[in-house]
Amino acid sequence: MRIFTTHINAIAISALLIASFNSQAGAINSRTDLNNLLGSNQVIENFESFHITSQTRYKDGPLNSETSLPVLGNHLVQPGITFQRNPDYALSNAGYRGIDLNPSGYFGSTSQAISGAGGSGGASIRNDFQILFTTPVNAFGLDLLAYSGFAAAGIISVYDTAGVLLSDTNVTGSVGGTFFGWENTAGIGKVFIHDNPNGNYIQFDNIGFGVKPVPVPATVWLFGSALAGFAGLRRRTVKA
């Protein structure tokens, strides 16, 4: 009986380690941390697969890998991610206009990027839009950009795959890019961006997302402990 108890305890400890991995959630502090976390599993959307000559405003539904736009073409973004204006507000609302695709050099930007397309007069919904993940994702990060000469601030809300709020974070954009990232091993389903109505729009670029690899050491340890336990059980059985 002691043999079985020792072996079962080893498996239980391994299970606890895996459960601990599965419960990880929190902010990712840098692009380097995101790269290390996702490794080769990371998909990056940098909006450079097509050429934007002037600001293009998109109003006709979700922007994803199936979207086709005049001049810009089709397959504009990576599979697995969708950009969508806030569906709670109609395009006819004076303070809301859709999604802007901005060229490199636009108000000091060094790369192509997107932003919500808002109206004037400090409309509180002017730049609200969502990033939806349509494939399994448990970590993501992006660069928050400000238009040169203008402050940019807002709130980023992160939700799990069941629509449960994980985090509300006050953010600011910079011309060079301010990094924001989040991980939730149980899954991330949606990111909601809401600009400060008294500030200016935040642009978004270099969105990395994917599934974290299962830590190899924990897996090897579990397998090794199981083999050791069975080997010990077999030796004792043979002796009996």
Q: What percent of the chain has pLDDT over 90?
A: 41
Average pLDDT along the chain = 79
Q: How far is residue 238's CA from residue 209's CA, in Å, rounded to a whole number?
A: 52
How would residue 99 be classed by pLDDT, with cut points 50, 70 and 90? confident
Give how many domains the chain has, as a whole number. Answer: 1
Whether 74 is covered by a domain: the verdict is yes
pLDDT in tens, 75-86: 889 999 999 877
Q: What percent of the chain has pLDDT over 70?
A: 69
For residue 159, what are its two tokens? Answer: 């939700």
Whether 227 is covered by a domain: the verdict is no
CATH number, domain containing residue 101: 2.60.120
pLDDT at 13 over 50: no
Give the pLDDT score at 11. Answer: 41
Whether 196 is covered by a domain: the verdict is yes
Whether 121 is covered by a domain: the verdict is yes
Give the pLDDT score at 59. Answer: 79
| 178-184 and 139-146 strand pairing | antiparallel
Contact present, 152 and 195 (Cβ < 8 Å): yes
Q: Does the CA dihedral 46-49-53-59 come out positive or negative?
A: negative
DSSP class of residue 134 equals: -
Whether 190 is covered by a domain: the verdict is yes
More confident residue, 128 or 74: 74
Contact present, 202 and 127 (Cβ < 8 Å): yes
DSSP class of residue 148 equals: T
What domain range is 60 assigned to?
Answer: 25-213
